[in-house]
Amino acid sequence: MANVGHTVIEATGAPQDLAALFAHIRATACTSYAFTVSGLLHPDPAPDQYVYWTELSATDRQVSLSIGIKYDLDALAVAGRLAERFPALRVAAFFVAEGDESAFDAMLYVGGRLAYHAHFEDDVCFPLHAAGPDGRCTALVRFFERTPERSAAALDHIDGDALARLGARPAVAGGWRQATQHDDVDLAVWWQPGTADGAGQALVLDAGGASLLTGVDRWGGYGRKECLDAGAAAQRLPELAGPIGQHVCDHAARQAATRRPMAQAGDADDFEIPF
């Protein structure tokens, strides 16, 4: 992994095992508070081989370690080393790239062995509601290609109620709900809850065309993705023909408004050949 970001490691288990883990970290993290890439704590690692731990907390049920990554090293390796050293603990790790909450990695170790490692990227991801006055968005809604690893990670790291809250919105047509409610006219998503888990579907329109996601479960994992253009999507889902047409018009208007200042700046009367 080459991204810069931060990792949160959470260990759960018996109080005596958690106490041993906490004591190990405290005893080996000297004045520099740095991890070597091998996952062992060392006071003076080489400049190109360390990540800083930024916060350590503990209760009788959980030890939590927040790590800020440095020099593009994979701080998730720390979780594996700690899990090997303390196999009685359940060790979960979560990495999120700096400035991009839509991309993350999740790992879980049970009995000192890797139970899953799931990578989420290039998913359909958007805020449940528009950003507040402070610019921060609310919970994220995510649609992702379902795999055993991602489905397992979703249980631990994805809000399973986000789609249920979308389903509570008023229907636009034919049971479809408008999922996106923000100013990004390059992305429009409609959501149709299924009668059973794993039977939902979503239509996604962006600058690249349309995608129909079917077999969507409560976590947002889909079983099949079909790529279409906007016209084919309107024919396939006639109840959404009106909203699809409006989105296409809004997108075209935005593109025209973007090109207009560029055309004016390049007007032939104002352009001088520099040679």
Read off the CATH number of the domain in which 38 is found: 3.30.70.1270
For residues 196 and 145, give the distance between their C-alpha atoms in angstroms, rounded to a whole number.
18
Shared-domain flag, residues 116 and 161: no
Query: Is a pLDDT exceeding 70 seen at residue 270?
Result: no
**Residue 195 belongs to some domain of the structure:** yes
pLDDT of residue 217: 93
Shared-domain flag, residues 158 and 251: yes
**Residue 235 belongs to some domain of the structure:** yes
pLDDT of residue 126: 82
Considering the chain, what percentage of its residues have pLDDT values greater than 70? 72
For residues 121 and 135, give the distance between their C-alpha atoms in angstroms, rounded to a whole number.
23
Shared-domain flag, residues 167 and 91: no
pLDDT of residue 268: 44
Query: Is a pLDDT exceeding 60 seen at residue 208?
Result: yes
**Averaged pLDDT of the chain:** 76
Shared-domain flag, residues 73 and 184: no
Instruction: Please compute the mean of the pLDDT values over residues 185-194 and round it to a whole number.
Output: 84
Query: Is a pLDDT exceeding 70 seen at residue 150?
Result: yes
- Residue pair 88/73 in contact by the 8 Å Cβ criterion: no
Top-confidence residue, 168 or 88: 88
Q: Cα 265 vs. chain centroid, distance in angstroms?
A: 39
The tally of domains found in the chain comes to 2
pLDDT tens-place string over residues 78-94: 788 889 999 999 999 88
Shared-domain flag, residues 68 and 25: yes
Shared-domain flag, residues 161 and 116: no
Domain C-terminal end among 121, 136, 170: 121
Query: Is a pLDDT exceeding 50 seen at residue 164?
Result: yes
**Residue 223 belongs to some domain of the structure:** yes
pLDDT of residue 170: 86
What band does 43 get if pLDDT is binned at 50, 70 and 90?
very low
Top-confidence residue, 123 or 184: 123
**Residue 255 belongs to some domain of the structure:** yes
Query: Is a pLDDT exceeding 50 seen at residue 133?
Result: no
What band does 203 get if pLDDT is binned at 50, 70 and 90?
very high
Query: Is a pLDDT exceeding 70 seen at residue 40?
Result: no
Instruction: Please compute the mean of the pLDDT values over residues 258-264 and round it to a whole number.
Output: 59
Shared-domain flag, residues 7 and 76: yes
pLDDT of residue 148: 95
Top-confidence residue, 219 or 27: 219
pLDDT tens-place string over residues 228-241: 988 999 999 999 99
Shared-domain flag, residues 99 and 155: no
The DSSP bridge pattern shows strands 221-222 and 140-145 to be parallel
**Residue 178 belongs to some domain of the structure:** yes
For residues 76 and 94, give the distance between their C-alpha atoms in angstroms, rounded to a whole number.
8
Shared-domain flag, residues 164 and 114: no
Range of the domain at 9: 1-121
Instruction: Please compute the mean of the pLDDT values over residues 55-82 and round it to a whole number.
Output: 70
**Residue 53 belongs to some domain of the structure:** yes
Q: ∠92-98-103 over CA atoms, to 5°?
A: 60
Tokens of 120: 């989420």
- Residue pair 153/106 in contact by the 8 Å Cβ criterion: yes
Shared-domain flag, residues 84 and 165: no
Shared-domain flag, residues 10 and 53: yes
DSSP readout, the chain?
Answer: ----EEEEEEEES-HHHHHHHHHHHHHH--TT-EE-TTS-B-SS--TTS-EEEEEEEE-SSEEEEEEE--TT--THHHHHHHHHH-TTSEEEEEEEETTEEEEEEEEEEETTEEEEEEEE-S-EEEESS---TTS---PEEEEEE--HHHHHHHHHHS-TTHHHHHHTSPPSBTTBEE---SS-TT-EEEEE--SSTT-EEEEEEETTEEEEEEEE-TTSEESEEEEE-HHHHHHH-GGGHHHHHHHHHHHHHHHHHHHHHHHHHT-GGG-----
What band does 65 get if pLDDT is binned at 50, 70 and 90?
confident
Give the count of beta carbons closer than 10 Å to the beta carbon of residue 191. Answer: 25
- Residue pair 114/107 in contact by the 8 Å Cβ criterion: yes
Shared-domain flag, residues 106 and 168: no
**Residue 27 belongs to some domain of the structure:** yes
For residues 257 and 241, give the distance between their C-alpha atoms in angstroms, rounded to a whole number.
24
Minimum mean pLDDT range among 69-73, 114-118, 192-196: 69-73
pLDDT of residue 44: 44
